[in-house]
């Protein structure tokens, strides 16, 4: 396969990872809302944990984005 074409295909495949991270981030906020609506009194105390979970889920998607960018512009 032409190396340039392989790079573009690889970048496109890496973009799937970004979509997967979207599932993860949605799951974090969705689960938080489910819990928060059941017990609104405890919700405010858990905002720190909400954003830790968000940060962890988002980081993995951003890594996929970095792979795509490296394939497109660096490698």
Candidate segments 6-14, 30-38, 55-63, binder of other proteins by CB under 8 A: 55-63
* Closest to other proteins by CB, 36 or 54: 54
3-state SS class at 25:
helix
* Closest to other proteins by CB, 18 or 36: 18
Interaction of residue 63 with other proteins, rule CB under 8 A: yes
Is the separation of the CB atoms in 23 and 66 below 8 Å? no
Closest CA to 17 of 68, 70, 74: 68
Among 7, 29, 36, 65, binds other proteins (CB under 8 A): 65
| Cα 25 from Cα 36, distance rounded (Å) | 16
Tokens 């489910």: give the residue: 34
Q: Applying CB under 8 A, which residues contact other proteins?
A: 48, 51-52, 54-55, 58-59, 62-63, 65-66, 69, 73
């Amino acid at each position: 396969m032409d190396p340039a074409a392989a790079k573009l295909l690889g970048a496109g495949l890496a973009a799937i990872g970004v979509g997967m991270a979207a599932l993860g981030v949605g799951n974090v906020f969705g689960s938080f809302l489910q819990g928060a609506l059941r017990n609104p009194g405890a919700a405010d105390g858990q905002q720190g944990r909400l954003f830790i979970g968000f940060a962890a889920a988002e980081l993995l998607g951003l890594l996929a984005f970095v792979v795509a960018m490296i394939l497109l512009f660096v490698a």
